[in-house]
A and B are shown apart, each in its own frame.
Chain A
């Protein structure tokens, strides 16, 4: 399409040449292209691009060092966490041990106290038993005496005389039977 178009324009003749193919401005175009392109190249390659690459590199370094720092701090935190867990476990074990010891001690104390009290009670019981049997024996002696006296009084009333020894023997025999 362009070719046809160019041909048509060329057909217009010399009075309106196709501007890109005119030759008069070519030296000037080349001259200014060389000057301006070189100027742009120098400005970019000498001043602007090194500055930009500096900035980008600095940023990359900064990001890398920040990441390193973050990794280091993270490691630290993990270490601290581990240490904390260790300390916690230790403390927990110690607490358990202390509690166990306290419990054992209490139990021992309890057992000894119980034993002491038991012994005490047994002793008291024994004394009480002894006293009871003594009292009973005493009571029995008294009963015999009373029976003898009563029997003496009764037979005296009946006008019979009996020796205390006989009376005692008779009452004993009766008590034995009872």
Chain B
């Protein structure tokens, strides 16, 4: 860590939010920031990609259309297998969620790009949206029967004394873990990337002796990059599939 000042590269700097356009809504600061800009870029890219891919709607798809339809099939299968046929009502939501996060994560892999999903306020808001939706859907679908979720059937009565609090805690923990998982993964990954990239520069700057170590740090950086691409896709997938699982709970609360 004593190398840190020498690097003069702050691994936290990449998460800095800066105003691009000062905007106010009454008393509230809704400035258009770099975070908003890259979020807008992600949304535009998703719309552009799927819009272009689906525009012609050919029976024999082009490459672009094939890829888009693979994405469609992938999410549709995921929703169907995790939440059942009823869950397909929420297919557009899960689709939006997955590609919103996926594109945000992938844009984050571009050097100097801002990673929207590395901010807890964003991931937390998404997670809360999901959980609130689950609760609303669950109550609408099952009425008070939704709370059977906290008392899975088939256990002897005395087990419920322990089981019900555990179920309640685990339910309450869902938005927290859902939001934190994505946030922490993106944050930690990008810090690591920046640190190892910084090490390379700093070690080479420190003298020829350190060049072999710099090479090691560089190799580590390359490996981490590959890992981060995996994490970027995987975390989007995890977020989407957990959404499906929670929706399944809401739709089939009585089948527990």
Residues of A within 8 A of B (CB): 1-2, 5, 9, 16, 18-22, 24-34, 36-37, 39-41, 43-45, 47-49, 51-56, 58-59, 62
Contact = CB atoms under 8 A, between A and B. Distances in A.
Contacts of B72: 49, 52-53, 56
A20 B164 CA distance: 34
Interface string B8-44: 0010100111000001010011111101100110010
A144 B132 CA distance: 157
B29 A27 contact: yes
B15 A55 contact: no
Contacts of B12: 9, 16, 18-19
A25 B54 contact: no
A32 B33 CA distance: 9
Nearest to A63: B59
Contacts, number: 133
A48 B52 CA distance: 9
Interface of B: 10, 12, 15-17, 23, 25, 28-33, 35-36, 39-40, 43, 46-47, 50-51, 54-55, 57-59, 61, 65, 68-69, 72-73, 91-93, 95-96, 99-100, 118-122, 125-126, 183-184, 187-188, 191
A175 B240 CA distance: 145
The SS class assigned to the A binding surface is helix
Contacts of A1: 188
A54 B57 contact: yes
The 4 closest A-B pairs by CB, nearest first: A45-B92, A32-B36, A55-B57, A19-B15
A43 B68 CA distance: 15
Given A16-B12, A28-B36, A40-B43, A52 B69 contact: yes
Contacts of B73: 56
A94 B58 CA distance: 56
A112 to B, nearest CB: 77
A176 B95 CA distance: 142
With most chain B CB atoms within 10 A of its CB, the pick from A27, A33, A39, A58 is A33
Nearest to B118: A20
A29 B35 contact: yes
Given A20-B187, A29-B17, 13 more contacts: A2-B187, A20-B119, A22-B17, A25-B17, A28-B23, A33-B39, A33-B126, A37-B96, A40-B43, A48-B47, A49-B95, A51-B55, A58-B59
Nearest to A52: B54
B95 A44 contact: yes
Nearest to B71: A52
Nearest to A47: B51
8 contacts: A16-B12, A28-B30, A28-B32, A40-B100, A48-B51, A52-B69, A55-B59, A55-B61
Contact of A31 (B25, B61, B91, B92): B25
With most chain A CB atoms within 10 A of its CB, the pick from B32, B33, B50 is B50
Nearest to A43: B47
Nearest to B119: A20
A52 B50 contact: yes
Contact of A33 (B54, B58, B68, B125): B125
Contacts of B57: 51-52, 54-55, 58
Contact of B28 (A16, A31, A47, A62): A31
A24 B39 contact: no
Given A33-B39, A55-B57, A27 B50 contact: no
A58 B69 CA distance: 13
A20 B43 contact: no
Nearest to B195: A5
B188 A24 contact: no
